[in-house]
Structure 1
């Protein structure tokens, strides 16, 4: 279990986002610690993706407080999120089938010296991050079109590691994957936790969520509707919070260490 007296990597309090009369998020709280996988679950339209986009700097909230390492921050755009150590892998992965693994990892941030592409250096770094992730990609020169769905997901996750992030947001990383490929991706998520990162996992698959997450946060109609220890909460409790059959309440506020 994560030590609750430690300062969270990410703390969000009272996050609200409206689109006209539509309330996408209302007074939402979320915190993520190092070495922790926090699952965001809820029905379609619950606000999961909107909250993830707030973390990623894609959406700016109307109100609320965001802190990184206990310091208030603003995240007006994705570059600001990256500077704060936040990396996001959305469902579309944004990979190019016609490029190899290394080219995908460094797409848009290729390493050059005196105008010459540093292929050897990029390959070495690609091997390093894939090794850290324990990826099953056969070679950093393998074209993406030759990789399995699970291997593609590992490339997308590995690309985030090149920026030395502290928080990684994964939006439905196992959607439409086979059982074998899902198991592969779940090991990558566990590896991110082992590396000391804080992970926000958005998923509809309760089996995946309970397999790798430490804590489960339920959103319903854009509001917090339950915070659960993934190891002790029952399936029925979580589903009850998702469907509205029960309301467990807001996530616990962080405990302050005794002086």
Structure 2
């Protein structure tokens, strides 16, 4: 999808295309990594342990791409006139692709030019999130759950339990994808000295907590949002760290705002 004028791009449109494509691809790969092995070798804890490192690599790759995508989305949504004052005036107008930006390379100038984090920066962020150990721990508990089934449990029961495990793992993974998308948006906003605007999708899936956060603004991308409170707001999710996601499977997104 080509971005001709960043300020005209709808955040919902971007999220529903590029981010949804990444989610769909990752979910398909997750099922394809686990189910064929279980089909041929049985839905057991031992089988699940065989694919742990492949799943870890899949999540590492997907979350890395998610951070790059988040920076690309933030770039496309940044106020273009303000951004032009904060980066090289000769830099190319970007094009938004599936996993990032492509186009003419940035040219040296007085301000920052690169609008995407380097592979090293992405890797450092992914490691700092503890995602790999999270996935290993999650799969270890899931394998133990399969081991706890009676020895005579029919294969159909074991396969149903494994499918529940994969669905649960996907829910865990998609929340982490959204966390890294927002990490990319924050990276971009910090680099070009923007504040942050909390954007919430106003549709039938909107929850009271996310609605309470909608349109909140921080003047610095290094600051963090306070948790919502008040009547009708449920207990705070322990995974909330001042940025989206506010809860598991949260679809909120921070976008750069001029300060």
Q: What TM bracket, shorter-length normalisation?
A: under 0.3
Higher helix share: 2
When the two structures are superposed, what TM-score results if normalisation uses the length of structure 2?
0.25
Asked which structure has the greater RCO (Cα within 8 Å, sep 6+), the reply is 1
Higher strand share: 1
When the two structures are superposed, what TM-score results if normalisation uses the length of structure 1?
0.25
